[in-house]
Amino acid sequence: MIEIEALTKMYGSAQVRAVDEVSLHIPAGSVFGFLGPNGAGKTTTIKMLAGLLTPTSGQVRLGGFDVVRQRSAAMAQFGAVLEGSRNVYWSLSAWQNLMYFGRLKGLRKAQVSERAEDLLSGLGLWERRDDKVGGFSRGMQQKVAIATALIADPPIVLLDEPTLGLDVEATRVVKDWIAELARELGTTILLTSHQLDVVQELCDRVAVIRRGRLVADLPTRELLAGFRERDKYEIRIEGAAPAGFDAVTREGVTTMSVRVNDPREVYDVVERLRAHGVVLESLTQVQPDLEDVFLALVNEASHA
Ligand SMILES: Nc1ncnc2c1ncn2[C@@H]1O[C@H](COP(=O)(O)OP(=O)(O)OP(=O)(O)O)[C@@H](O)[C@H]1O
């Protein structure tokens, strides 16, 4: 469980409010997406959660422990992947990094070895386990950072852009792990990513931050439903569209976008198509994806 109360961070003499009175409650076992455009305050928030930055005001509790006042207990609650793979030692090998961090978290050597083998094999790094991380590609370093964050199965995992630079296969592995950790171990996962398809697939709930302030905090499904375009439908038909209908034909499939003021008007469109002898393949209400919703929220907030 992560509890954030009125968290605020001001930087320097310019008094930039990088994070402004942010409150979030993230229950155990949930995967929480923390989104925002560049410079919105995501990394600053995660650094305060990880005890790397002291809040100007407000509170963070990890698993019930206050990050400032009960620092060591709070630090034992989480594993983190922070920007630029800064949670790994570049002069050590992948294996040595995992051993070091596993032992630091209090695991026995045999426990660390077993877990390290699983993680490195899963990420396709087993063959390179004895090579220094400093000589790895960015994607490989990111994989070591992820393995390090997960080595001790912490109750909370903080992931800042975890799939950045990963290839398709590794992205799949990491996404599956995240879902499995939350589902099977009840791990609380906070995730930031600009890859909104990853967030949409994984996160139960999403918060959007802009210029340090929250502009949304909702279950993903509700967030998407709230932005459903009630007046837009997509009709697919066999063959070409009759004259007078606006349609696009690509690879033998004709698609028409129809905007109506009242859903009942869809019947009229279908009737007119039938009168032309057109065969319908499908009729669907257009569903926005998280990218549409995110852009709408961020633009709304900038015009407010
Ligand atoms: N060390 C610092 N000193 C002064 N200002 C800072 C510092 N770090 C961040 N900022 C400012 O705080 C704001 C939030 O930055 P932050 O890095 O938290 O954003 P972000 O949401 O993680 O962005 P991105 O998606 O680009 O990584 C920005 O205006 C940034 O310029």
Asked if residue 137 has pLDDT above 80, the reply is yes
Nearest CA-CA partner of 147 in 216, 133, 203: 133
Ligand 1: distance of its center to the CA of 17 in Å?
10
Chain-centroid distance, C-alpha 256: 33
Residue whose CA lies nearest to ligand 1 atom number 31: 39
What pLDDT score was predicted for residue 301?
A: 62
Asked if residue 236 has pLDDT above 90, the reply is yes
Asked if residue 14 has pLDDT above 80, the reply is no
Q: How high is the mean pLDDT of the chain?
A: 90
Distances (CA, A) of 233 to 127, 200, 266, 278, 298: 51, 22, 8, 17, 25
Asked if residue 67 has pLDDT above 90, the reply is yes
Q: What is the pLDDT of residues 252-268, one digit of tens each?
A: 789 998 888 888 888 99
Find out whether 182 and 157 touch, Cβ atoms under 8 Å.
no
Q: What is the pLDDT of residues 168-215, one digit of tens each?
A: 988 998 899 899 999 999 999 999 999 999 999 999 999 999 999 999
Ligand 1: distance of its center to the CA of 123 in Å?
30
Burial of 205 (0-12, 13-18, 19+ CB in 10 A): buried
Q: Where along the chain do its domains lie?
A: 2-225, 232-286
Find out whether 28 and 155 touch, Cβ atoms under 8 Å.
yes
Chain-centroid distance, C-alpha 289: 14
What pLDDT score was predicted for residue 246?
A: 83
Ligand 1 contact, 18 CB (< 6 A):
yes
What pLDDT score was predicted for residue 36?
A: 94
What pLDDT score was predicted for residue 231?
A: 77
Q: What is the pLDDT of residues 83-114, one digit of tens each?
A: 765 678 889 999 999 999 999 888 899 999 99
Ligand 1 contact, 43 CB (< 6 A):
yes
- The confidence band for 229, taking pLDDT boundaries of 50, 70 and 90, is low
Out of 11, 45, 52, 190, mutate this one to test ligand 1's pocket (max ligand atoms within 8 Å of CB): namely: 11
- The confidence band for 50, taking pLDDT boundaries of 50, 70 and 90, is very high
User: Could you tell me which CATH class the domain 2-225 is placed in?
Assistant: alpha beta
Q: Which ligand 1 atom sits nearest the alpha carbon of residue 209?
A: 21
Ligand 1: distance of its center to the CA of 211 in Å?
10
Contacts of 71 (CB under 8 A, 6+ apart): 51
Say if pTM beats, i.e. exceeds, 0.90.
Answer: no
Per cent of the chain over pLDDT 70 is 97
Ligand 1: distance of its center to the CA of 14 in Å?
13
Out of 20, 42, 54, mutate this one to test ligand 1's pocket (max ligand atoms within 8 Å of CB): namely: 42
Nearest CA-CA partner of 78 in 26, 156, 151: 156
Ranking 40-44, 131-135, 138-142, 213-217 by mean pLDDT, the lowest is 138-142
Tell me what ipTM this predicted complex has. 0.97
Ligand 1: distance of its center to the CA of 288 in Å?
29
Out of 10, 44, 191, mutate this one to test ligand 1's pocket (max ligand atoms within 8 Å of CB): namely: 44
